[in-house]
Amino acid sequence: MTITTAVLITIIALLHFYFLILEMFFWDKPKGIKAFKLESQEFAKKTKVLAANQGLYNGFLAAGLLFSIFESNLRIASFFLFCIFIAGIYGFYSTKNKVILFVQALPAILVFLFFTFF
């Protein structure tokens, strides 16, 4: 694994750790409500447990990517990047929020394509 590949994978991992923080700790705070365009504080409070679970999954994705760097294993990285890509596609499909495509799906597939073809 090249240094460039490791750096790109780390960026995706850090992005997903950021999602973990937003979803687990700031979901019902102004920062989370704004980031996820939630309809109200009340809705945020009602869905806080679901969001925390979702955040935990984002943390597992990030941990998997970091593990792939530790193991210097592009097959592991490919698996987690593909999982992130699919999650981003589904997130867009289910919410109709294009931001998910550009913040989650596109970066993951671009990093995958980078180390696959370069």
Please give the pLDDT value at position 82: 97
- Report pLDDT digits (tens) over 23-80: 999 999 999 999 999 999 999 999 999 999 999 999 999 999 999 999 999 999 999 9
Please give the pLDDT value at position 118: 86
The mean predicted confidence, pLDDT, of the chain is: 97
CA of residue 88 relative to chain centroid, distance:
8
Q: Under 8 Å CB-to-CB from 45, ≥6 apart: which residues?
A: 28
- Give the pLDDT band (50/70/90) at residue 100: very high
- Kindly report the pTM of this predicted structure: 0.93
Residues 38/44, Cβ–Cβ less than 8 Å: yes
Residues 94 and 49: their CA atoms lie apart, in Å, by 19
